[in-house]
A and B are shown apart, each in its own frame.
Chain A
Amino acid sequence: MNNKEKQPLQIPLGIEAHNLAGKFATEQVNTEKSKQVYLNTLAVYAVHRYLKWLGIETDLSQSDCWNPILRNRWNVADLVIPDIGKLECCPVLPGETTISVPLGITEVLIGYLAVQFRENLDQVQLLGFAKTTVAGVLEISQLRSLDEFIDAISPKQVNLADWFEGIFDEVWLPIEALLNNQQLAFNPRGVRLRNVFKPDDRDKKRGNQEIIERFKEITVGLLANSQQLNLVVSIRKEENQELGCRFQVYPMNMGEYLPVGLKLKVILESGEAEKKVEAGETKESLKIRLTELPGKPITVQVHLDNDFVTEKFIL
Protein backbone atom coordinates (compact mmCIF):
# COMPACT_ATOMS: atom_id res chain seq x y z
CA MET A 1 0.00 0.00 0.00
CA ASN A 2 1.24 3.51 -0.69
CA ASN A 3 0.59 6.38 1.68
CA LYS A 4 -2.35 7.70 -0.20
CA GLU A 5 -4.17 4.41 0.06
CA LYS A 6 -3.32 4.07 3.71
CA GLN A 7 -5.40 7.12 4.54
CA PRO A 8 -8.40 5.58 6.28
CA LEU A 9 -11.77 6.07 4.73
CA GLN A 10 -14.27 7.96 6.91
CA ILE A 11 -17.94 7.06 6.74
CA PRO A 12 -20.40 9.39 8.47
CA LEU A 13 -23.16 7.77 10.52
CA GLY A 14 -26.40 9.71 10.46
CA ILE A 15 -29.62 9.49 12.32
CA GLU A 16 -30.96 6.59 10.24
CA ALA A 17 -27.98 4.41 11.11
CA HIS A 18 -28.36 5.16 14.82
CA ASN A 19 -32.11 4.62 14.73
CA LEU A 20 -31.68 1.15 13.25
CA ALA A 21 -28.86 0.28 15.63
CA GLY A 22 -30.97 1.49 18.54
CA LYS A 23 -33.97 -0.53 17.46
CA PHE A 24 -31.98 -3.73 17.01
CA ALA A 25 -30.01 -3.18 20.23
CA THR A 26 -32.98 -2.60 22.48
CA GLU A 27 -34.48 -5.95 21.47
CA GLN A 28 -31.71 -7.69 23.37
CA VAL A 29 -32.04 -8.91 26.91
CA ASN A 30 -28.84 -7.56 28.46
CA THR A 31 -26.63 -4.53 28.07
CA GLU A 32 -23.55 -6.34 26.83
CA LYS A 33 -25.49 -7.99 24.03
CA SER A 34 -27.27 -4.70 23.23
CA LYS A 35 -23.94 -2.96 22.83
CA GLN A 36 -22.64 -5.72 20.56
CA VAL A 37 -25.73 -5.46 18.35
CA TYR A 38 -25.56 -1.65 18.31
CA LEU A 39 -21.95 -1.59 17.10
CA ASN A 40 -22.45 -4.48 14.68
CA THR A 41 -25.40 -2.71 13.10
CA LEU A 42 -23.48 0.56 12.73
CA ALA A 43 -20.52 -1.29 11.18
CA VAL A 44 -22.71 -3.11 8.67
CA TYR A 45 -24.68 0.01 7.86
CA ALA A 46 -21.49 2.00 7.26
CA VAL A 47 -20.14 -0.61 4.85
CA HIS A 48 -23.54 -0.79 3.15
CA ARG A 49 -23.45 3.00 2.60
CA TYR A 50 -19.89 2.85 1.33
CA LEU A 51 -20.74 0.12 -1.19
CA LYS A 52 -23.91 1.89 -2.25
CA TRP A 53 -21.86 4.97 -2.95
CA LEU A 54 -19.46 2.90 -5.07
CA GLY A 55 -22.50 1.66 -6.99
CA ILE A 56 -22.30 -1.85 -5.54
CA GLU A 57 -25.64 -3.29 -4.54
CA THR A 58 -26.06 -4.93 -1.15
CA ASP A 59 -29.01 -6.77 0.36
CA LEU A 60 -29.41 -5.97 4.04
CA SER A 61 -32.60 -8.02 4.25
CA GLN A 62 -30.62 -11.18 3.44
CA SER A 63 -27.98 -10.49 6.07
CA ASP A 64 -28.15 -12.60 9.22
CA CYS A 65 -27.71 -9.50 11.37
CA TRP A 66 -30.91 -8.02 9.90
CA ASN A 67 -32.90 -11.01 11.10
CA PRO A 68 -34.31 -10.48 14.61
CA ILE A 69 -33.82 -14.11 15.68
CA LEU A 70 -30.36 -14.61 14.23
CA ARG A 71 -28.92 -11.40 15.65
CA ASN A 72 -30.40 -12.23 19.04
CA ARG A 73 -28.63 -15.59 19.26
CA TRP A 74 -25.48 -15.02 17.22
CA ASN A 75 -22.79 -12.37 17.15
CA VAL A 76 -23.31 -11.46 13.49
CA ALA A 77 -22.26 -8.43 11.44
CA ASP A 78 -22.61 -9.78 7.93
CA LEU A 79 -23.52 -8.01 4.72
CA VAL A 80 -24.78 -9.83 1.65
CA ILE A 81 -23.59 -8.67 -1.77
CA PRO A 82 -25.97 -10.43 -4.17
CA ASP A 83 -24.35 -12.97 -6.51
CA ILE A 84 -20.95 -12.33 -4.92
CA GLY A 85 -21.21 -13.52 -1.36
CA LYS A 86 -21.12 -12.48 2.23
CA LEU A 87 -18.85 -10.05 4.00
CA GLU A 88 -18.28 -9.71 7.73
CA CYS A 89 -18.00 -6.12 9.01
CA CYS A 90 -15.96 -6.28 12.20
CA PRO A 91 -16.17 -3.44 14.75
CA VAL A 92 -12.79 -2.36 16.13
CA LEU A 93 -12.86 -0.38 19.39
CA PRO A 94 -10.36 2.39 20.23
CA GLY A 95 -7.00 0.91 21.22
CA GLU A 96 -7.64 -2.57 19.84
CA THR A 97 -4.85 -4.00 17.68
CA THR A 98 -6.40 -7.42 17.15
CA ILE A 99 -10.00 -8.50 16.99
CA SER A 100 -11.37 -11.95 17.44
CA VAL A 101 -13.96 -12.75 14.84
CA PRO A 102 -16.99 -14.64 16.07
CA LEU A 103 -18.11 -17.86 14.48
CA GLY A 104 -20.95 -17.11 12.08
CA ILE A 105 -24.04 -19.19 11.47
CA THR A 106 -23.11 -19.46 7.80
CA GLU A 107 -19.56 -19.22 6.53
CA VAL A 108 -18.16 -15.92 5.34
CA LEU A 109 -17.35 -16.18 1.66
CA ILE A 110 -15.66 -12.93 0.68
CA GLY A 111 -13.79 -11.84 3.78
CA TYR A 112 -13.68 -9.38 6.64
CA LEU A 113 -13.70 -5.56 6.68
CA ALA A 114 -12.43 -3.92 9.84
CA VAL A 115 -14.47 -0.91 10.95
CA GLN A 116 -12.80 1.42 13.46
CA PHE A 117 -15.00 3.10 16.06
CA ARG A 118 -13.98 6.06 18.19
CA GLU A 119 -15.52 7.85 21.16
CA ASN A 120 -17.74 9.95 18.91
CA LEU A 121 -20.14 7.63 17.13
CA ASP A 122 -20.85 10.15 14.38
CA GLN A 123 -18.47 8.40 12.00
CA VAL A 124 -16.35 5.29 11.53
CA GLN A 125 -13.24 4.47 9.52
CA LEU A 126 -12.79 1.54 7.18
CA LEU A 127 -9.37 0.19 8.16
CA GLY A 128 -8.85 -2.60 5.65
CA PHE A 129 -9.69 -6.04 4.47
CA ALA A 130 -8.73 -9.66 5.17
CA LYS A 131 -9.80 -12.72 3.22
CA THR A 132 -9.35 -15.08 6.13
CA THR A 133 -8.61 -14.99 9.83
CA VAL A 134 -5.77 -16.72 11.61
CA ALA A 135 -7.53 -19.05 14.05
CA GLY A 136 -10.43 -16.61 14.28
CA VAL A 137 -8.25 -13.55 14.92
CA LEU A 138 -7.62 -10.50 12.73
CA GLU A 139 -4.41 -8.54 13.20
CA ILE A 140 -5.14 -4.88 12.38
CA SER A 141 -1.56 -4.28 11.18
CA GLN A 142 -1.85 -7.16 8.72
CA LEU A 143 -4.99 -5.93 6.97
CA ARG A 144 -4.96 -5.57 3.20
CA SER A 145 -5.92 -2.42 1.31
CA LEU A 146 -9.45 -1.62 0.23
CA ASP A 147 -8.19 -2.10 -3.35
CA GLU A 148 -7.92 -5.79 -2.65
CA PHE A 149 -11.37 -5.75 -1.19
CA ILE A 150 -12.79 -4.27 -4.40
CA ASP A 151 -10.98 -6.91 -6.43
CA ALA A 152 -12.46 -9.60 -4.22
CA ILE A 153 -16.03 -8.45 -4.80
CA SER A 154 -15.69 -8.01 -8.55
CA PRO A 155 -17.80 -10.71 -10.21
CA LYS A 156 -15.92 -13.95 -10.65
CA GLN A 157 -15.45 -15.63 -13.98
CA VAL A 158 -14.54 -19.25 -14.32
CA ASN A 159 -11.58 -19.67 -16.63
CA LEU A 160 -12.22 -22.98 -18.32
CA ALA A 161 -8.61 -23.15 -19.55
CA ASP A 162 -7.69 -23.73 -15.88
CA TRP A 163 -9.74 -26.89 -15.88
CA PHE A 164 -7.36 -28.51 -18.36
CA GLU A 165 -4.57 -27.77 -15.86
CA GLY A 166 -6.55 -29.46 -13.12
CA ILE A 167 -7.37 -26.18 -11.35
CA PHE A 168 -10.94 -25.94 -10.13
CA ASP A 169 -12.73 -23.56 -7.81
CA GLU A 170 -14.09 -25.56 -4.89
CA VAL A 171 -17.74 -24.96 -5.84
CA TRP A 172 -17.21 -26.95 -9.03
CA LEU A 173 -17.34 -30.55 -7.94
CA PRO A 174 -16.19 -33.63 -9.82
CA ILE A 175 -19.02 -35.44 -11.54
CA GLU A 176 -18.33 -38.56 -9.52
CA ALA A 177 -19.57 -36.75 -6.41
CA LEU A 178 -22.91 -36.29 -8.09
CA LEU A 179 -23.20 -39.93 -9.08
CA ASN A 180 -22.17 -41.13 -5.63
CA ASN A 181 -24.74 -38.90 -3.94
CA GLN A 182 -27.43 -40.20 -6.21
CA GLN A 183 -26.79 -43.79 -5.34
CA LEU A 184 -27.40 -43.00 -1.68
CA ALA A 185 -30.53 -40.95 -2.23
CA PHE A 186 -33.94 -42.29 -3.06
CA ASN A 187 -34.03 -42.58 -6.80
CA PRO A 188 -37.05 -44.15 -8.48
CA ARG A 189 -35.43 -44.43 -11.87
CA GLY A 190 -31.89 -45.18 -10.86
CA VAL A 191 -31.19 -47.30 -13.89
CA ARG A 192 -31.08 -44.25 -16.12
CA LEU A 193 -28.22 -42.76 -14.21
CA ARG A 194 -25.60 -44.89 -15.78
CA ASN A 195 -26.39 -43.39 -19.13
CA VAL A 196 -26.63 -39.76 -18.22
CA PHE A 197 -23.05 -38.75 -18.69
CA LYS A 198 -22.07 -41.15 -21.40
CA PRO A 199 -20.87 -39.37 -24.51
CA ASP A 200 -23.71 -39.23 -27.00
CA ASP A 201 -23.38 -40.04 -30.69
CA ARG A 202 -22.13 -36.61 -31.62
CA ASP A 203 -19.31 -36.95 -29.10
CA LYS A 204 -18.26 -40.32 -30.37
CA LYS A 205 -17.62 -39.01 -33.86
CA ARG A 206 -14.99 -36.61 -32.60
CA GLY A 207 -12.27 -38.92 -31.49
CA ASN A 208 -10.99 -39.59 -28.02
CA GLN A 209 -10.12 -36.19 -26.57
CA GLU A 210 -10.39 -36.06 -22.80
CA ILE A 211 -13.70 -34.73 -21.50
CA ILE A 212 -13.55 -32.68 -18.31
CA GLU A 213 -16.82 -32.57 -16.49
CA ARG A 214 -17.76 -30.71 -13.31
CA PHE A 215 -20.96 -29.63 -11.65
CA LYS A 216 -22.19 -26.95 -9.30
CA GLU A 217 -25.31 -26.86 -7.13
CA ILE A 218 -27.52 -23.89 -7.91
CA THR A 219 -30.77 -22.61 -6.39
CA VAL A 220 -33.20 -20.71 -8.56
CA GLY A 221 -36.80 -19.54 -8.19
CA LEU A 222 -38.65 -17.36 -5.74
CA LEU A 223 -39.16 -18.36 -2.11
CA ALA A 224 -41.58 -21.26 -1.75
CA ASN A 225 -41.11 -22.26 -5.36
CA SER A 226 -37.31 -22.28 -5.33
CA GLN A 227 -35.61 -25.31 -6.82
CA GLN A 228 -32.26 -26.90 -6.30
CA LEU A 229 -30.56 -27.97 -9.47
CA ASN A 230 -27.21 -29.12 -10.72
CA LEU A 231 -25.45 -27.23 -13.48
CA VAL A 232 -23.10 -29.61 -15.28
CA VAL A 233 -20.34 -28.22 -17.49
CA SER A 234 -18.40 -30.53 -19.83
CA ILE A 235 -15.51 -29.30 -21.93
CA ARG A 236 -13.21 -30.86 -24.47
CA LYS A 237 -10.53 -29.66 -26.85
CA GLU A 238 -11.72 -30.02 -30.42
CA GLU A 239 -9.89 -29.98 -33.71
CA ASN A 240 -8.63 -26.65 -35.10
CA GLN A 241 -7.95 -25.22 -31.58
CA GLU A 242 -11.61 -24.88 -30.72
CA LEU A 243 -13.19 -25.74 -27.40
CA GLY A 244 -16.32 -27.85 -27.25
CA CYS A 245 -18.64 -27.09 -24.31
CA ARG A 246 -21.81 -28.66 -23.08
CA PHE A 247 -23.95 -27.00 -20.40
CA GLN A 248 -26.62 -29.13 -18.77
CA VAL A 249 -29.14 -28.62 -16.00
CA TYR A 250 -30.41 -31.56 -13.97
CA PRO A 251 -32.77 -31.76 -10.99
CA MET A 252 -31.08 -32.26 -7.63
CA ASN A 253 -32.40 -35.81 -7.66
CA MET A 254 -31.47 -37.23 -11.01
CA GLY A 255 -34.29 -38.97 -12.78
CA GLU A 256 -36.93 -36.56 -11.50
CA TYR A 257 -38.43 -34.00 -13.87
CA LEU A 258 -37.30 -30.42 -14.12
CA PRO A 259 -39.79 -27.71 -13.12
CA VAL A 260 -41.95 -26.68 -16.08
CA GLY A 261 -40.83 -23.39 -17.59
CA LEU A 262 -37.22 -23.69 -16.43
CA LYS A 263 -34.93 -22.09 -19.01
CA LEU A 264 -31.26 -22.53 -19.76
CA LYS A 265 -29.60 -19.70 -21.68
CA VAL A 266 -26.09 -19.39 -23.06
CA ILE A 267 -25.07 -15.90 -24.18
CA LEU A 268 -21.86 -15.05 -26.01
CA GLU A 269 -20.55 -11.97 -24.27
CA SER A 270 -20.33 -9.95 -27.46
CA GLY A 271 -24.08 -10.34 -27.78
CA GLU A 272 -23.56 -11.96 -31.16
CA ALA A 273 -25.44 -15.10 -30.26
CA GLU A 274 -27.75 -16.53 -27.66
CA LYS A 275 -29.02 -20.07 -27.29
CA LYS A 276 -32.04 -20.91 -25.17
CA VAL A 277 -33.90 -24.08 -24.23
CA GLU A 278 -36.96 -24.47 -22.00
CA ALA A 279 -38.32 -27.38 -19.98
CA GLY A 280 -41.76 -28.70 -20.86
CA GLU A 281 -43.87 -31.13 -18.81
CA THR A 282 -41.59 -34.13 -18.50
CA LYS A 283 -38.07 -32.94 -19.08
CA GLU A 284 -35.25 -34.58 -17.15
CA SER A 285 -32.49 -32.28 -18.33
CA LEU A 286 -31.76 -29.24 -20.45
CA LYS A 287 -28.71 -29.12 -22.65
CA ILE A 288 -26.90 -26.54 -24.78
CA ARG A 289 -23.69 -27.25 -26.60
CA LEU A 290 -21.40 -24.94 -28.46
CA THR A 291 -17.97 -24.86 -30.00
CA GLU A 292 -15.93 -21.66 -29.87
CA LEU A 293 -12.38 -20.41 -29.92
CA PRO A 294 -10.70 -20.24 -26.50
CA GLY A 295 -10.68 -16.86 -24.74
CA LYS A 296 -14.29 -15.97 -25.49
CA PRO A 297 -16.38 -14.83 -22.54
CA ILE A 298 -19.77 -16.49 -22.20
CA THR A 299 -22.60 -16.19 -19.74
CA VAL A 300 -24.81 -19.08 -18.71
CA GLN A 301 -28.14 -18.36 -17.04
CA VAL A 302 -30.78 -20.59 -15.51
CA HIS A 303 -34.18 -18.92 -15.26
CA LEU A 304 -37.24 -19.94 -13.25
CA ASP A 305 -40.23 -17.65 -12.76
CA ASN A 306 -38.74 -14.18 -12.40
CA ASP A 307 -35.53 -15.35 -10.82
CA PHE A 308 -32.28 -16.39 -12.42
CA VAL A 309 -28.77 -17.53 -11.62
CA THR A 310 -25.79 -16.33 -13.67
CA GLU A 311 -22.46 -18.09 -14.19
CA LYS A 312 -19.71 -16.46 -16.22
CA PHE A 313 -17.01 -18.36 -18.05
CA ILE A 314 -13.98 -17.64 -20.18
CA LEU A 315 -13.58 -20.40 -22.74
Chain B
Amino acid sequence: MIWINGYLNYRIKDLYRQSGRESSLDVIINDDNENPLTLLDKISETGFQPPKLSGLDAYLEEQRKENILSIWQKFELYVKEDPQKLLRNCHPKKYPDCNCQLLAKKLFLKDPPETLAQIHRELQNLGLSIPDQTLRSHCKKKCLPLLQKILEDLGYSKEEES
Protein backbone atom coordinates (compact mmCIF):
# COMPACT_ATOMS: atom_id res chain seq x y z
CA MET B 1 0.00 0.00 0.00
CA ILE B 2 2.70 2.45 0.97
CA TRP B 3 4.71 1.98 -2.18
CA ILE B 4 1.59 2.27 -4.32
CA ASN B 5 0.73 5.59 -2.67
CA GLY B 6 4.28 6.75 -3.18
CA TYR B 7 4.22 5.69 -6.80
CA LEU B 8 0.90 7.43 -7.44
CA ASN B 9 2.19 10.56 -5.80
CA TYR B 10 5.10 10.72 -8.25
CA ARG B 11 2.89 9.78 -11.17
CA ILE B 12 0.60 12.70 -10.33
CA LYS B 13 3.56 15.02 -10.18
CA ASP B 14 4.80 13.76 -13.56
CA LEU B 15 1.41 14.35 -15.09
CA TYR B 16 1.14 17.90 -14.01
CA ARG B 17 4.71 18.64 -15.06
CA GLN B 18 3.88 17.58 -18.59
CA SER B 19 0.73 19.59 -18.54
CA GLY B 20 2.52 22.88 -18.05
CA ARG B 21 3.62 22.63 -21.65
CA GLU B 22 0.57 21.01 -23.09
CA SER B 23 -2.63 22.52 -21.80
CA SER B 24 -4.13 25.02 -24.11
CA LEU B 25 -7.40 25.76 -25.80
CA ASP B 26 -6.50 23.14 -28.40
CA VAL B 27 -6.83 20.32 -25.88
CA ILE B 28 -9.34 17.77 -27.07
CA ILE B 29 -12.22 17.64 -24.62
CA ASN B 30 -14.35 14.76 -25.89
CA ASP B 31 -13.79 11.05 -26.57
CA ASP B 32 -14.87 11.14 -30.18
CA ASN B 33 -11.88 10.20 -32.34
CA GLU B 34 -13.49 11.17 -35.61
CA ASN B 35 -14.81 14.53 -34.52
CA PRO B 36 -12.45 15.77 -31.87
CA LEU B 37 -13.76 18.81 -30.06
CA THR B 38 -11.36 21.29 -28.57
CA LEU B 39 -12.05 23.82 -25.91
CA LEU B 40 -11.56 26.54 -28.50
CA ASP B 41 -14.27 24.95 -30.67
CA LYS B 42 -16.62 24.85 -27.74
CA ILE B 43 -16.08 28.48 -26.95
CA SER B 44 -16.53 29.67 -30.51
CA GLU B 45 -19.43 27.29 -31.13
CA THR B 46 -21.53 28.90 -28.47
CA GLY B 47 -20.38 32.33 -29.52
CA PHE B 48 -19.03 32.86 -26.04
CA GLN B 49 -16.45 35.58 -25.62
CA PRO B 50 -15.13 35.88 -22.09
CA PRO B 51 -14.97 39.49 -20.90
CA LYS B 52 -11.58 41.22 -20.79
CA LEU B 53 -10.14 42.13 -17.42
CA SER B 54 -10.14 45.84 -18.24
CA GLY B 55 -13.76 45.68 -19.39
CA LEU B 56 -14.98 43.66 -16.44
CA ASP B 57 -16.47 46.54 -14.44
CA ALA B 58 -18.68 47.69 -17.30
CA TYR B 59 -19.63 44.12 -18.19
CA LEU B 60 -20.73 43.36 -14.61
CA GLU B 61 -22.56 46.66 -14.23
CA GLU B 62 -24.60 45.82 -17.29
CA GLN B 63 -25.48 42.36 -15.98
CA ARG B 64 -26.40 43.30 -12.43
CA LYS B 65 -29.66 41.79 -11.27
CA GLU B 66 -32.32 44.45 -10.91
CA ASN B 67 -33.84 43.58 -7.59
CA ILE B 68 -30.70 42.29 -5.87
CA LEU B 69 -30.22 45.35 -3.68
CA SER B 70 -33.71 45.13 -2.27
CA ILE B 71 -33.32 41.40 -1.55
CA TRP B 72 -30.20 42.05 0.52
CA GLN B 73 -31.89 44.93 2.35
CA LYS B 74 -34.88 42.75 3.19
CA PHE B 75 -32.52 40.02 4.34
CA GLU B 76 -30.69 42.36 6.72
CA LEU B 77 -33.96 43.59 8.13
CA TYR B 78 -35.17 40.02 8.58
CA VAL B 79 -32.04 39.05 10.51
CA LYS B 80 -32.38 42.10 12.77
CA GLU B 81 -36.08 41.58 13.48
CA ASP B 82 -36.38 37.80 13.21
CA PRO B 83 -40.20 38.19 13.06
CA GLN B 84 -41.01 34.49 13.51
CA LYS B 85 -38.20 33.85 15.98
CA LEU B 86 -36.88 31.21 13.61
CA LEU B 87 -33.34 32.44 14.09
CA ARG B 88 -33.49 32.82 17.85
CA ASN B 89 -34.98 29.34 18.21
CA CYS B 90 -32.14 27.77 16.24
CA HIS B 91 -29.35 26.97 18.70
CA PRO B 92 -27.41 23.99 20.08
CA LYS B 93 -29.49 22.34 22.78
CA LYS B 94 -27.48 23.51 25.75
CA TYR B 95 -26.55 26.96 24.45
CA PRO B 96 -29.67 29.05 23.74
CA ASP B 97 -27.55 32.21 23.74
CA CYS B 98 -25.50 30.93 20.85
CA ASN B 99 -28.43 31.23 18.46
CA CYS B 100 -28.57 31.84 14.77
CA GLN B 101 -29.64 35.47 15.07
CA LEU B 102 -26.67 36.36 17.24
CA LEU B 103 -24.28 34.53 14.92
CA ALA B 104 -25.80 36.05 11.77
CA LYS B 105 -25.52 39.56 13.21
CA LYS B 106 -21.85 39.07 14.03
CA LEU B 107 -20.92 37.18 10.89
CA PHE B 108 -22.87 39.21 8.35
CA LEU B 109 -24.25 42.48 9.66
CA LYS B 110 -21.27 43.78 11.58
CA ASP B 111 -18.74 45.84 9.67
CA PRO B 112 -16.16 44.45 9.58
CA PRO B 113 -17.71 41.05 10.27
CA GLU B 114 -16.28 38.79 12.97
CA THR B 115 -14.62 35.44 12.31
CA LEU B 116 -15.83 32.28 14.01
CA ALA B 117 -12.67 32.25 16.13
CA GLN B 118 -13.40 35.78 17.37
CA ILE B 119 -16.99 34.89 18.15
CA HIS B 120 -15.89 31.78 20.02
CA ARG B 121 -13.50 33.84 22.15
CA GLU B 122 -16.19 36.38 22.95
CA LEU B 123 -18.63 33.69 24.02
CA GLN B 124 -15.97 32.15 26.24
CA ASN B 125 -15.35 35.53 27.82
CA LEU B 126 -19.07 35.78 28.55
CA GLY B 127 -18.81 32.49 30.42
CA LEU B 128 -20.42 30.38 27.68
CA SER B 129 -18.31 27.24 27.53
CA ILE B 130 -19.49 26.09 24.13
CA PRO B 131 -16.83 23.93 22.42
CA ASP B 132 -15.36 25.48 19.28
CA GLN B 133 -16.39 22.47 17.18
CA THR B 134 -19.99 22.73 18.38
CA LEU B 135 -20.10 26.39 17.40
CA ARG B 136 -18.60 25.74 13.96
CA SER B 137 -20.78 22.80 13.22
CA HIS B 138 -23.93 24.60 14.41
CA CYS B 139 -23.11 27.55 12.22
CA LYS B 140 -22.40 25.46 9.16
CA LYS B 141 -25.04 22.80 9.45
CA LYS B 142 -27.94 24.70 11.00
CA CYS B 143 -27.53 28.48 10.64
CA LEU B 144 -26.29 28.73 7.07
CA PRO B 145 -28.98 26.47 5.57
CA LEU B 146 -31.66 28.34 7.54
CA LEU B 147 -30.37 31.74 6.45
CA GLN B 148 -30.12 30.58 2.86
CA LYS B 149 -33.73 29.41 2.95
CA ILE B 150 -34.79 32.80 4.28
CA LEU B 151 -32.82 34.51 1.51
CA GLU B 152 -34.54 32.32 -1.07
CA ASP B 153 -37.96 33.08 0.42
CA LEU B 154 -37.12 36.76 0.01
CA GLY B 155 -36.63 36.28 -3.73
CA TYR B 156 -33.10 35.03 -4.18
CA SER B 157 -32.95 32.29 -6.80
CA LYS B 158 -30.30 29.63 -6.43
CA GLU B 159 -30.39 28.10 -9.94
CA GLU B 160 -27.61 25.82 -11.13
CA GLU B 161 -24.41 26.11 -9.17
CA SER B 162 -22.15 23.31 -10.26
Contact = CB atoms under 8 A, between A and B. Distances in A.
A7 interface: yes
Interface of A: 4-5, 7-15, 18, 20, 22-23, 25-29, 31, 34-35, 38, 50, 53-55, 60-61, 66-70, 72-74, 93-94, 103-107, 117-123, 146-147, 150-151, 154, 181, 184-186, 217, 219, 223-224, 226, 228, 252, 269-270, 297
19 contacts: A9-B19, A10-B23, A12-B23, A12-B25, A14-B43, A26-B65, A35-B57, A38-B60, A66-B161, A68-B148, A69-B147, A73-B107, A104-B115, A121-B53, A154-B5, A154-B9, A219-B133, A270-B1, A297-B2
A26 B68 CA distance: 8
B134 A228 contact: yes
Contacts of B161: 20, 23, 60-61, 66
A15 B64 contact: no
A15 B24 contact: no
A280 to B, nearest CB: 23
Contacts of A181: 129, 131
Nearest to B162: A60
A38 B57 CA distance: 10
B151 A69 contact: yes
Shortest beta-carbon contacts, A-B, top 8: A7-B20, A34-B60, A15-B48, A121-B50, A217-B133, A73-B108, A184-B129, A26-B63
Nearest to B69: A29
Interface in B138-162: 141-142, 144, 147-148, 151, 156, 158-159, 161-162
Nearest to A253: B94
B53 A228 contact: no
Given A23-B159, A147-B13, A120 B68 contact: no
Contact of B48 (A18, A20, A53, A74): A18
A122 B43 CA distance: 10
A96 to B, nearest CB: 12
A29 B137 contact: no
B131 to A, nearest CB: 7
Contacts of B7: none
B54 A119 contact: yes
Given A14-B42, A29-B72, 6 more contacts: A4-B17, A26-B60, A26-B63, A72-B108, A118-B53, A121-B56
Nearest to A70: B144
Contacts of A61: 161-162
Given A27-B65, A68-B158, A224-B141, A55 B12 contact: yes
Given A26-B60, A54-B12, A146-B16, A7 B148 contact: no
B77 interface: no
B115 A67 contact: no
A67 B41 CA distance: 32
Nearest to B24: A10
B108 A9 contact: no
Contacts of A154: 5, 9
Given A15-B48, A26-B68, A297-B2, A228 B131 contact: yes
B29 to A, nearest CB: 9
A121 B51 contact: yes
Nearest to A27: B68
Contacts of A269: 1
Contact of B13 (A29, A53, A150): A150
B72 to A, nearest CB: 6
A297 B53 CA distance: 50
